[in-house]
Structure 1
Amino acid sequence: MTTDGSALPAPAAEDWGFPRSSAGTALLVEYAGARGVGAARALVGTGLTSGSLTALVRSGGEVTAAQELRVVRTLHRLLGEVGPEVGQRYDASTFGAFGYAMLSSRTVLDAISVALRLIDLSFAFAIPRASLVGDEVHVSVDGGGLPPDVRRLLVERDATAIVSVLEALVPGGVGARLTWMPDAATVVFGVDQLERPLPQRSAERLALAERMCTEVVDARRVRRGLAQDVRVLITQRLTDGAPMREVAAALAMGERTLRRRLLEEGVGYQELLDEVRSSLAMALLDGRVTMPVAEVARRLGYAESASFIRAFHRWTGRTPTEVSRA
């Protein structure tokens, strides 16, 4: 085993601003409920309700980092420094296909490599970075770039979650221990643990999980910055047509400001709306089980099927019926 750190990849994300699965926000709301804080109170300021969050989780939908951060701030204000308690609630299964890919990996090293390559499928705010130091693996969890008011909570949550996931990978765990520092933590375990085989390893299941993960991250990485968040917020409001004023309000800005900011990134609001609608339309029409065109139109926020059919032809050069029959 080399000790220069080359065996461990750099994390795919440099900061925490990426969209994330709504399941992570649901876990926070569930924890809040267990501590006597109702869902409506936990979700204040997010633009989400208990019902809309449940619908997002069922559909595999996303939230913005700012929406999850708002829930974190509410928990901190009402419950204090609860990072370790929340972090203990995470395991690989919490992360869907991302966690499935880790569990299906051949060794602990492979699982860590998958996690770092797909870190923007996690719920992390303190982005972990792994290195080999002598006969130890050091996973640093640095909160230096996090908002000061919730920095401690997020570092403690993320570091504790990393330990929870690592220890569950192999029987008896990897012997991970946490070292705490101001605004940071380090997860340390022996380098000899990296080659331990995982009990659920499977090349076939790993390939399937990685394909699923790649589809998600490729779609996320098409856009960055504000445009990325706008796509997420459009998706959350799609059945109502995703009016620009509502998305702008969710971002605490006016329509003119949102339009200008998007133009600075080289994209318009209608272009993003069409991107979201066209990709979802293809997913709904091109799957093993398709749905009626009228239902697809409704889900995409069209008042009538004819408008959806015209738009779909503009996007693809085909009709919805031609795609669903292919």
Structure 2
Amino acid sequence: MLGRVASQRFCDLVSSSVQQLGDPAIGLKFGGMVGGNAFGLLGVASATAETLADVIRTLSRMESLTSTLGQVSVVRDAKVVHLRWKAHGQPPSPAVVEGILAGWASFGRYLLGANVPVRSISFCHDRRASSAAYEDALACDVRFNARWNALTVATDLLDARTRFFEPRLHNALWRWSDASIIVASAASSSLVRRVVDVIDGKLPWSVPSESEIARELGMSCRNLQRRLHCSGLTYRRLLECVRGKVAIGAMMNGSQSFVRIAERIGYAEQASFCRSFRRWAGIAPSEFTRALAPHFFALRTQTPPTMG
């Protein structure tokens, strides 16, 4: 699995690439290369949904677990569906936005195994590259200076079935997201982010206690409990969220045994880890990896279809 890049770092890399290479179409080219070889948690959860409608539902539901850059919303009219994207805070450079929407188009075409007839793609900014660059990357009508950054498809396309539907895997990730989304929605709290970061940093060596976390953050255990309670959370819930995400990421990587993963997230015995994983995902770790094998690893080795 490719390493993940923090959102701000990604934005900086894209912006500096545009400047250094003198190529305003960098974002379009990057987004157009989206395929199974870069799938992480969100990509696998979406790819294994049954229909395009389910893919969109998964994307809009689980995006907060994997991205802090922006948020997708879905607006349905009589004949078309608009997938809108809005940045959290200060909008990134146009090249970043173009990469995100080009990636959506490439992802949809990849999952359906065909050149999906995207109706249009709209950008809030003005045109930055040549018309040919947009045509090559997006293969649809492109609009600029729009009110929303959005990708639009016909509602008829929502029933199209994906090539990689795997109900066990999709349902397991959906179930795991139930508990984790609440944590992600509270992550706007700097305290929640700090607690999660401390837990993640300490887990390879030990399972930090609530009192250890409080000391690390310079507050009393009682004060930590009270402030987390105000966010609707507990320390135990944050610990379980971090453990689950690390475990699922390691299993998708495929390079570690269950024993090693259990040790990585602070379980003395593999059996204890397996019981917890079944509680998180509804299936045993062995079932999860069996579902991954013919789908996720196949996704990573296939070439996305060309556009145009």
Contact 1:87–1:160 (Cα < 8 Å) also in 2: yes
Q: What is aligned with 2:44?
A: 100
Aligned equivalents of 2:274, 2:124: Cα separation in 1: 59
Preserved CA contact (<8 Å) 2:199 2:242: no
1:131 aligns with 2:111: no
Please tell me whether residue 180 in structure 1 is matched to residue 123 in structure 2.
yes
- Please give the per-residue CA displacement for 1:42-83, whole angstroms capped at 9, x wherever unaligned: xxxxxxxxxxxxxxxxxxxxxxxxx43134225423543543
Distance in 2 of aligned mates of 1:166 and 1:221: 26
1:208 equivalent to 2:172? Answer yes
> What is the DSSP-based 3-state SS (H/G/I as helix, E as strand, rest coil) of the residue aligned with 1:130?
strand
**Is contact 1:95-1:122 (8 Å) kept?**
no
Spell out, residue by residue over 1:260-291, the C-alpha distance to the aligned partner (whole angstroms, 9 max, x if none): xx8698149xx96995499749x98xx99446
Which of the pair has the greater relative contact order for Cα pairs under 8 Å at 6+ separation? Answer: 2
Partner of 2:157: 193
Is the contact made by 2:46 and 2:56 (CA closer than 8 Å) also made in structure 1?
A: yes
TM-score computed with the length of structure 1 as normaliser: 0.52
Q: Which residue of 1 aligns with 2:136?
A: none
SS in 2 for 1:131: strand
Structure 2: 5+ residue runs without aligned partners?
126-144, 252-256, 276-308
In 1, Cα distance between the equivalents of 2:65 and 2:227? 26
Q: 1:192 to 1:321 in 2, by over 3 A?
A: closer
Decide whether aligned partners of structure 1 residues 96 and 204 sit closer, same or farther in structure 2, where only a CA change above 3 A counts.
same
Question: Partners in 2 of 1:192 and 1:141 — Cα distance?
Answer: 22
C-alpha change, 1:320 and 1:73, in structure 2 (3 Å) is: same
Distance 2:123 2:36 in 1: 23
What letter is aligned with 1:69? Q
User: What's the counterpart of residue 24 of structure 1?
Assistant: 4
Contact 1:234/1:273 (8 A) holds in 2 = no
Give 3-state SS (helix, strand or coil) of 1:163's partner.
helix
- The answer on whether the counterparts of 2:52 and 2:161 sit within 8 Å (CA) in structure 1 is yes
Cα separation, 2, equivalents of 1:110 and 1:146:
28
Q: 2:110 aligns with which of 168, 181, 188?
A: 168
Give me the whole-angstrom Cα distance separating, in 2, the residues matched to 1:231 and 1:22: 26
Measured in 2, the distance between the counterparts of 1:188 and 1:160 equals 12
- Structure 1 residue 159 corresponds to structure 2 residue 120: no
User: Structure 1 vs Structure 2: percent identity of aligned residues?
Assistant: 12
Q: CA RMSD in A?
A: 4.6
Q: Is the 8 A contact 1:102 1:114 kept in 2?
A: yes
- Number of residue equivalences: 225
Distance 1:85 1:227, change over 3 A: farther
Q: Residue 60 of structure 2 corresponds to which residue in structure 1? A: 116
Equivalent of 1:227 in 173, 191, 203? 191
Q: Check conservation: 1:138, 1:186, Cα contact below 8 A.
A: yes
